[in-house]
Amino acid sequence: MIDLNNTEIAFKIKNNKELKNAKFLFSMIKYPFMVRILGFMSNWALKIKFPISWAVKPTLYKHFVGGETIEECFPVMKKMAAENVKSILDFSMEAVEKEEEIDAVYRELLKSVINSGEHAEIPFSVFKPTALTTHNVLKKTSLNEPLTPEEQISYGKFVHRFDMLCAAAAKTGKPIMVDAEDYWFQQTIDIVTEEMMLKYNGKTAVVYATLQMYRHDRLDYLQHLINFSKQNNIIAGVKFVRGAYMEKERARASEGGYPSPIYPAKEDTDRAFNEALRISVENCDGIRVFCGTHNEKSVSYLMQYMKDKGLSNNCSAVYMSQLYGMSDNLSFNIAKAGYNVAKYLPYGKIKNVLPYLIRRAEENSAIAGQTTRELTMLKQELKRRKAK
């Protein structure tokens, strides 16, 4: 079995200064109160337009983000690619509601899709469908509520933009992933994603849906997608994640008086996640798997199951992925063993990326063991280098 804790391989592309910065960062976000203070101060700074980039840029931003523009991401993309770890450019832009702003975001997304076709280091493109229209329109269509004539126009533009991004991906020959977000937008996103799969997926998977396996209906939906691909004689693309909005979903369900869409316990989510991987590998003649996780047990499970099924490490039906700045021990060690690996590489202006950075800090702080694991490995690698 592969050693997933080999720190020399994990941190090969990081210099000592970068490792020390990461060590400082993780030792801060280990404390939930520090993350709360950070979140509060960032929101306040954003509101009153107080400049905080001098503090954020050399620390959190440098660790979790590739740069402000696609071009600024190239150096890090190249360094990772030299170690067989590819990049997925993830344009970070928090919710915009005005048509002109939505259109500007759409144009940047289109640029990043076209860019993926021009660089061997980028195997996929990705977008958040909520960036393509207003939240109100997505929510109303998902809940089957009637739209006003103006909202109907907005919805038409949403489908058009969605289609154009998928068409551009098809033209580049690189697949595109449709991220998943809040539960109450997802029904519309699933419907449009399936339409796009019908339009662009054939013998290859161009469009990938995202399944958040903390939702208790997603194993059934996976089975639906498998049947759907068989009936339509297409290859389906599926990205599996556990899901990033658990607290929000639970609170919203409780306020709205409907049952929570999320499993009651972490073990249920873990079981569903691994089961989805098993089912997909079992059906890998009709499905392409993208496994987005920092969970070592799930990564090991997938590698073992691929081996049991006689799939090669670099089988093109399976990709594994982590976020930039997290779990390099997984990404670089499994890439070294020949598996297909890509890291989500966010880019964007500091003020737009800030909410993403706060989420990363919160996630690392909340997930028991995650920060400690990162810290232990960073310390171990610094010690190993010093002893050389």
Ligand X SMILES: Cc1cc2nc3c(=O)[nH]c(=O)nc-3n(C[C@H](O)[C@H](O)[C@H](O)COP(=O)(O)OP(=O)(O)OC[C@H]3O[C@@H](n4cnc5c(N)ncnc54)[C@H](O)[C@@H]3O)c2cc1C
Specify the 3-state DSSP secondary structure of 209.
strand
Closest Cα to residue 238, out of 321, 159, 141?
321
| Residue 350 near ligand X by CB under 6 A | no
What part of residues 327-346 is at the interface with ligand X (CB under 6 A)?
344
**H helix or E strand, kind and range, residue 168:** helix 149-172
| Residue 242 near ligand X by CB under 6 A | yes
Report the residue number, 53 or 372, with the smaller CB distance to ligand X: 372
Cα gap 325→92, rounded to integer Å: 15
Q: Cβ-closest residue to ligand X?
A: 292
Please check whether residue 120 is in contact with residue 102, taking contact to mean a CB–CB distance below 8 angstroms.
Answer: no
Q: What is the closest distance, in whole angstroms, from the C-beta atom of residue 253 to ligand X in the complex?
A: 13
Cα gap 135→130, rounded to integer Å: 7
Q: What is the closest distance, in whole angstroms, from the C-beta atom of residue 369 to ligand X in the complex?
A: 8
Report the residue number, 141 or 322, with the smaller CB distance to ligand X: 322
Report the residue number, 67 or 292, with the smaller CB distance to ligand X: 292
- Residue 317 phi/psi, 5° resolution? -80, -10
CA distances from 113 to 207, 287, 306 (A): 12, 22, 30
User: 304: buried, middle or exposed (CB in 10 Å: 19+, 13-18, 0-12)?
Assistant: exposed
- Length of the chain equals 388
What part of residues 353-372 is at the interface with ligand X (CB under 6 A)?
367
The interface region with ligand X, picked from 12-20, 65-73, 95-103, 316-324 by CB under 6 A, is 316-324
Report the residue number, 180 or 197, with the smaller CB distance to ligand X: 180
Please check whether residue 385 is in contact with residue 16, taking contact to mean a CB–CB distance below 8 angstroms.
Answer: yes
| Residue 210 near ligand X by CB under 6 A | yes
**H helix or E strand, kind and range, residue 323:** strand 318-323
Q: Among 133, 172, 283, 321, which residue interacts with ligand X (rule: CB under 6 A)?
A: 321
| Residue 130 near ligand X by CB under 6 A | no
Q: Among 19, 169, 323, 377, which residue interacts with ligand X (rule: CB under 6 A)?
A: 323
| Residue 262 near ligand X by CB under 6 A | yes
Triad 83, 84, 86: Cα angle to 5°:
115
Q: Among 107, 266, 307, 383, which residue interacts with ligand X (rule: CB under 6 A)?
A: 266
| Residue 154 near ligand X by CB under 6 A | no
Q: What is the closest distance, in whole angstroms, from the C-beta atom of residue 170 to ligand X in the complex?
A: 21
Q: What is the closest distance, in whole angstroms, from the C-beta atom of residue 166 to ligand X in the complex?
A: 16
